[in-house]
């Protein structure tokens, strides 16, 4: 199975900061990667699909990049409502696999 390594597992940041989260695949996955956001007690929500396409309704401060084995989620200017846990999801082959998650906390 293809393994996904997400980093960092947690981070502290301030409102207005630029935040970058990375997922690395153990082998190439083309653009078969999505990003999800989950707030405490809430259902996950997709932010990015196909590595870099913004889900409808998601603010433009969120962006995704990468292809092959390394992928990045960037929040250009962190807002108070962005404090949450973020997951990558690899879906180019079965089994689908999530990264371990990145918890973004308030500094």
Q: Which stretch binds other proteins (CB under 8 A): 21-29, 39-47, 62-70, 76-84?
A: 39-47
Measured from the CB atom, the residue of 30 and 77 that comes closer to other proteins is 30
The two most distant CA atoms of the chain are separated, in Å, by: 38
72 binds other proteins (CB under 8 A): no
Q: Which stretch binds other proteins (CB under 8 A): 14-22, 60-68, 76-84, 89-97?
A: 89-97
Residue in this structure with the two tokens 């807002």, named with its chain if needed: 79
Task: Give the β-pairing of 97-98 and 85-90.
Answer: antiparallel
98 binds other proteins (CB under 8 A): yes
- Chain Cα centroid distance, residue 76: 13
- CA pair distance 48, 66, nearest whole angstrom: 12
Measured from the CB atom, the residue of 5 and 77 that comes closer to other proteins is 5
36 binds other proteins (CB under 8 A): yes
44 binds other proteins (CB under 8 A): yes
DSSP 96: P
Burial of 69 by CB count in 10 Å (0-12 exposed, 13-18 middle, 19+ buried)? middle
Under the rule (CB under 8 A), what is the footprint of other proteins?
1, 34, 36, 38, 43-46, 49-50, 87, 89, 91, 94-101
């Amino acid at each position: 199975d293809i393994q996904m390594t997400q980093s960092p597992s947690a981070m502290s940041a301030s409102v207005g900061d630029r935040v970058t989260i990375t997922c690395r695949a153990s082998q190439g996955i083309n653009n078969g990667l999505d990003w999800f956001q989950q707030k405490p007690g809430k259902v996950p929500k997709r932010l990015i699909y196909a590595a870099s396409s913004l889900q409808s309704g998601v603010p433009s401060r969120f962006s995704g990049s990468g292809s092959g084995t390394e992928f990045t989620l960037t929040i250009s200017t962190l807002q108070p409502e962005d404090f949450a846990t973020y997951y990558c999801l690899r879906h180019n082959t079965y089994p689908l696999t999530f990264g371990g998650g990145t918890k973004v906390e308030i500094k």
